[in-house]
Amino acid sequence: MSKPLEWRDLSLLVVLLALGLFFGLLAPQYLSARNLSMLTIEFAITSVLSLGMLLVILPGHIDLSAGSGVGLIGGVAAVLIMRYQVPAELAMLAAIALALLLWRAQGFVIWSQGIPAFIITLGGLLACKGLFWLTIRNQTVPVSPGGQSNLLSVLTTTYLPPMPSYLLGVAVIGLLGLAALRSHRRACQEAAVQAETPPDGELAFLRWLLASQALALVVLTCGQFRGLPLPLLILATVAVVVQVVTQHTRLGRALYAIGGNEEAAVLSGIPVGKVVVTAYTLLGGLVALTGLLQTAYAGASTTTVGELMELDAVAACVIGGCSLRGGRGSVAGVLLGSLVMASLLSGMSLLAVPPEARFIARGLVLGLAAWLDVRLSKLSRGSLA
| Number of domains into which the chain is organized | 1
Give the SS3 label for residue 154: coil
pTM, 2 dp: 0.91
| Per-residue pLDDT, 5 | 43
In-domain check, residue 181 = no
In-domain check, residue 124 = yes
In-domain check, residue 183 = no
**Confidence band for 376, pLDDT divided at 50, 70 and 90:** low
**Pick from 204, 114, 234, 216: nearest CA to 172:** 216
How do residues 6-19 score in pLDDT, each as one tens digit?
Answer: 556 667 778 888 88
Cα dihedral 28→368→331→227 (10° resolution):
10
51: domain CATH number is: 1.10.3470
In-domain check, residue 219 = no
- Residue 300 DSSP class: E
Domain containing 309: what range? 3-161+226-384
Q: Please, what is the average pLDDT of the chain? A: 89
Pair 340, 19: CB distance under 8 Å: yes
User: Nearest 5°: CA angle at 128, between 369 and 317?
Assistant: 20
| Per-residue pLDDT, 8 | 61
| Per-residue pLDDT, 4 | 41
In-domain check, residue 196 = no
Highest mean pLDDT among 258-262, 277-281, 379-383: 277-281
In-domain check, residue 292 = yes
